[in-house]
Structure 1
């Protein structure tokens, strides 16, 4: 597996509607995408993107559920997960597909989450401008 770029940095938050004004108004970040139904928001922070992910406390109880994660762009999420598993790594979230990407989450040796991410359009790193 070879990481091509950092696609985004993600912070987990307990209440997205409370966090949005802090990041947008207090910190002055440009809100580029807000998907309230998914508890997700993305801000432009050159040279990457800062994403906020609202925790679902029924399902998000794994290691470092309240922390941060980096999303690394890979060519093939399934193959990357197989490689991590074969090396004895921990898979925190099995591969899943969304409208824009495939992703899965693994843990480093200290249980820090790392999202392995592949956009369907083949881009890696910061998308600018966002659609």
Structure 2
């Protein structure tokens, strides 16, 4: 096998409508695809995609069970945490300075972890998106 790329990051969610609202309105991600009938949504998160799939018998992962973790680049981690706290989003980890970056973690409506992240050098995404 020779994997070519990561096509998308994926979370299982319990309610697609609630989750789409959270990712679109609360986090500000751009909705690209929504298929409510199948319980599937995709958000632009360059250079990849964030996919959400409603829990079903074909997907062996329960919402909030763990697995993949998502890290979103933001301009100011503390300000983002404060803003989300005002929206009553659960803060799983307050802002920490690792020496290389600032990071914090919040939970989506199902408890899936979302890291808020800012590198001190100001870069975001892959350092070299087209190696």
Q: TM-score, normalised by structure 2?
A: 0.48
Q: TM-score normalised to the size of structure 1?
A: 0.48
Greater RCO, 1 or 2 (C-alpha within 8 Å, sep 6+)? 1
Q: Which has the higher strand share?
A: 1
